[in-house]
Amino acid sequence: MTDPFDLTDDDLDAAPGDPETPPPEPPWLAGLNPEQRRAVETLDGPVLVLSGAGTGKTRVLTTRIAHILHLRRAQPWRVLAVTFTNRAAREMRERLAAMIGPVAESVWLGTFHALSLRMLRRHAEKVGLRDGFSILDADDQLRLLKQLMVDANMDPKRDPPKALMGRIQRWKDRGLTPDRVPDADAREGAARRARELYTRYQTRLLELNACDFGDLLLHTLAILQAHPDIAAEYQRKFDYILVDEYQDTNVAQYLWLRLLAAGHRNLCCVGDDDQSIYSWRGAEVGNILRFDTDYPGAAVVRLERNYRSTPTILGAAAGLIRHNTDRLGKDLIAAGAAADDPDVRKVTVRGLWDGEAEARWVVEEIEALGHEMRGSGNGTGNAAAGTAILVRATFQMREFEDRLMTCGVPYHVIGGPRFYERLEIRDALAYLRLVAQPDDDLAFERIVNTPKRGLGETSLQTLQIMARAAGIPLLAAARDLAASDELKPRARTALGAFVADVDRWRALVGGMPPSEVCATILEESGYAAMWKADKSPEAPGRVENLEELVGAVAEFETLDAFLEHIALVMETESKGAAAGVTLMTLHAAKGLEFDVVFLPGWEEDLFPHKRALDEGGQASLEEERRLAYVGLTRARTRAFVSFAANRRIFNNWQASMPSRFVDELPDAFVDKTSDTGLYGAVTAGFAEEFGGWGTRHPRRTLAAGSGGSAGRVAPGTGTWKVRDRSGDGQGIRVGQRVFHQKFGYGTVQSAEGGKLAVNFEKAGRKTVVAGFVEPA
């Protein structure tokens, strides 16, 4: 297979094809609506396509590329199309190939990271990396950082490595090398220490001839900035640049694009500010918000015709997202069913007693819909699945899994630990890496004593000191050490044998297919045997995974090719469509669509998540709201929102209030009182039995018009029935004995913001909403 990214044999300065005879209008333009057509046909200069959910974003991107090529405005290899995920890149390439055939292979199409890596491989020496540098994954990064912390005598209690790593990554997201981190960002103690550590970290990476994900962009950026000749070369190479999911770009990516587009400014960015949900990973919504300031004269195209969802779903979503202030402002128009279509159902909103009841209800609804549940992929990559349950946090998944399993409803979970992140796979990969790259110290450390070879702390310490003193890789040091008599005989023999093994395996590379090399290593190292002998319940699965790994290696010609691939693509290609209900986080659902979507857990403190609010305030609230918006707009025909009054989190019960987002859904599009009357009955039951929702969020007041008359269902408005407990459990004092329906009798320990901490006699200490208890 030819490498579509290989620059080396391209003619960087090839002239664009001559536009002699414009071919007849191709069929693909005909199917576009006027806005899409404008987005496709506005070829020159900067273009921003604001593409709302379900408005045909990918279609516009692929058609635009096809159009450019069709008009001979550029050769395929002079078009650069950037995505965030491998999935998006794959989908785009497939759809492009369907339009224009195999020539689609030549387009420079890939993720920011994959494309950066191609450039970086060519110019690695400019940033101090040598040929064949390796790419660390999250696990390696953290282990490296921890080592550096130990060296620097830092206390992991005071500075959690993960937090420090996070800071470093955020700096990298902003395109900041250690020397460029502003003092203002490193004033406070932890930040100052993080910056120092950042410097050491980068130094150590170069020593290891390695870089992390962030570096792929950062180094490339540094090269383009420091070497105008190289920058100019790429600026001339690409005639047209297209970017997907522009709202998710971070500063480094923004600068990367700006540099590459600096010449002709033929930059087309597609995105939706309302779907920006990754700011916590460094994404800057600001990039899309100020596109036309950055690129004066930019054409802005709004795609607002939604081909996915019903008018009610869109209406509900629009009502919600209207509460955000920092928006470019788009309104989705349903292109499908009319608003008065009797088949169009409102969004169902349902309150339930607890998480378990919620799960039960959701699965009942799924069964009642009797929906023909198809898998999550339909071949074209445009995911069209049956039903999905979208949760805010992964811990919510369990309850649904339990219930689905009990009811025998087929389901699958998306997300969770990925194949290449599993322990046994990472270990196996470390073997392969060490064989392919003798100076990969991190790989060496990982597996010297896995399986156990009797090489402990002390032996390895000796080895580390020796390697560092001599400035050589650990494997080389191990070879020397095994030949000396510094170690105890037992350790020396073990180390010698290990080095000999690695040498022997390396000799195999090239002589036999990489999958056989892999299998041999796993056998001879005793690693496979280690898991086969393991009696723990997960061991058989691990053995299977190892076999699967050997199968995955078989897809590649060389070991290096395989290792390079997995460094960038941390997932195995999904094999066929998984059946049944899809269970995943809201974040994972972006870009997908389903006939029916369930959105459970719409409760204050869970969604919007308390921690997000604590950390990021108003901006985070808006991001949470966008997440809710993304969730709703995944649905084609039906959406179900639910919340529970009580939720067990980490073994203790938390009383919870409906999310403010529930109130923000416009009544006109929402069924808070279902037509069977069930919903109303349950609410009434709640009110009756448990004192109603009692207190709303302390910082919120009831919807206008019902504030003074809580306790009454305003006719036709669907307002929640609320019983006024004369304000936030007034009259309940600390030390008072109270009664709670679920927990029984207890004593109030503290009261704050309408919530009480109560020490229950049977149930222990819980936090409950004041409205749920009564004086005993």
Chain residues that interact with DNA, rule: CB under 7 A: 84-87, 111, 113-114, 138, 156, 213, 245, 248, 278, 280-281, 283, 392-395, 415, 418, 449, 452-459, 491, 568-571, 584-585, 587-588, 590, 609, 611-612, 615, 620, 624, 650-651
Residue 57 annotated to the active site: yes
Q: Are 359 and 567 in contact (CB under 8 A)?
A: no
Element (H, E) at 49: strand 47-51
Choice between 210 and 569, CB closer to DNA: 569
Q: Rounded CA gap, 447 and 434, in Å? A: 9
Closest approach, Cβ 673 to DNA, in A, equals 31
Closest approach, Cβ 637 to DNA, in A, equals 25
Q: Are 217 and 54 in contact (CB under 8 A)?
A: no
Residue whose C-alpha is closest to residue 595's, from 640, 662, 628, 625: 640
Closest approach, Cβ 77 to DNA, in A, equals 21
Residue appearing with tokens 């309302």: 274
Choice between 574 and 717, CB closer to DNA: 574
Among the options 35, 36, 58, 172, which is catalytic? 58
Closest approach, Cβ 134 to DNA, in A, equals 14
Choice between 86 and 749, CB closer to DNA: 86
Within 8 A by CB and 6+ apart from 292, the residues are 48, 298, 300
Q: Which long-range contacts (CB under 8 A, 24 or more apart) does 423-429 make?
A: 423/542, 424/531, 424/542, 424/545, 424/546, 425/545, 425/546, 425/549, 426/137, 426/139, 427/527, 428/518, 428/521, 428/522, 428/527, 428/546, 428/549, 429/549, 429/563, 429/566
DSSP one-letter code for 770: G
Residues making up the annotated binding site are: 51-58
Residue 387 annotated to the active site: no
Choice between 508 and 757, CB closer to DNA: 757
Choice between 280 and 307, CB closer to DNA: 280
Residue 374 annotated to the active site: no
Among the options 35, 212, 244, 273, which is catalytic? 244
Among the options 91, 140, 215, 245, which is catalytic? 245
Is cis: bond before 451, omega within 30 of 0? Answer: yes
Q: Rounded CA gap, 54 and 332, in Å? A: 9
Choice between 458 and 717, CB closer to DNA: 458
The DSSP bridge pattern shows strands 267-271 and 240-243 to be parallel
Residue 426 annotated to the active site: no
Within 8 A by CB and 6+ apart from 739, the residues are 745, 773, 774, 775, 776
- Per residue, the 3-state secondary structure of 640-705, as one string, reads EEEEEEEEEECCEEEECCECHHHHHCCHHHEECCCCCCHHHHHHHHHHHHHCCCCCCCCCCCCCCC
Within 8 A by CB and 6+ apart from 344, the residues are 310, 311, 312, 337, 338
Choice between 171 and 686, CB closer to DNA: 171
Among the options 330, 634, 672, 755, which is catalytic? 634
Q: Are 212 and 141 in contact (CB under 8 A)?
A: yes
Q: Rounded CA gap, 513 and 510, in Å? A: 7
Residue 437 annotated to the active site: no
Instruction: Determine the residue type at 368.
Output: A
Choice between 287 and 437, CB closer to DNA: 287
Residue 675 annotated to the active site: no
Among the options 63, 169, 247, 275, which is catalytic? 275
Q: Are 664 and 319 in contact (CB under 8 A)?
A: yes
Closest approach, Cβ 166 to DNA, in A, equals 8
What dihedral do alpha carbons 89, 443, 139, 453 form, nearest 10°?
A: 140
DSSP one-letter code for 721: P
The three-class DSSP label of residue 113 is helix
Closest approach, Cβ 458 to DNA, in A, equals 5
Q: Rounded CA gap, 156 and 587, in Å? A: 30
Residues making up the annotated binding site for ATP are: 51-58
Helix, strand and coil content of the chain, in percent to the nearest 5, comes to 50, 15, 35
Choice between 651 and 676, CB closer to DNA: 651
Closest approach, Cβ 229 to DNA, in A, equals 27
Closest approach, Cβ 534 to DNA, in A, equals 10
Residue 93 half-sphere exposure toward CB, CA atoms < 13 A: 21
Choice between 214 and 438, CB closer to DNA: 214
What dihedral do alpha carbons 647, 765, 735, 724 form, nearest 10°?
A: 10
Closest approach, Cβ 522 to DNA, in A, equals 19
Choice between 617 and 677, CB closer to DNA: 617
Q: Are 108 and 81 in contact (CB under 8 A)?
A: yes
Q: How many CB atoms lie within 10 A of CB 750?
A: 11
Closest approach, Cβ 176 to DNA, in A, equals 16
Q: Rounded CA gap, 278 and 251, in Å? A: 13
What dihedral do alpha carbons 58, 61, 66, 72 form, nearest 10°?
A: 180
Residue 232 half-sphere exposure toward CB, CA atoms < 13 A: 3
Closest approach, Cβ 607 to DNA, in A, equals 9
Per this entry, what is the length of the chain?
776
Q: Are 466 and 481 in contact (CB under 8 A)?
A: yes
Q: Rounded CA gap, 314 and 346, in Å? A: 10
Enumerate the active-site residues: 57-58, 244-245, 275, 634
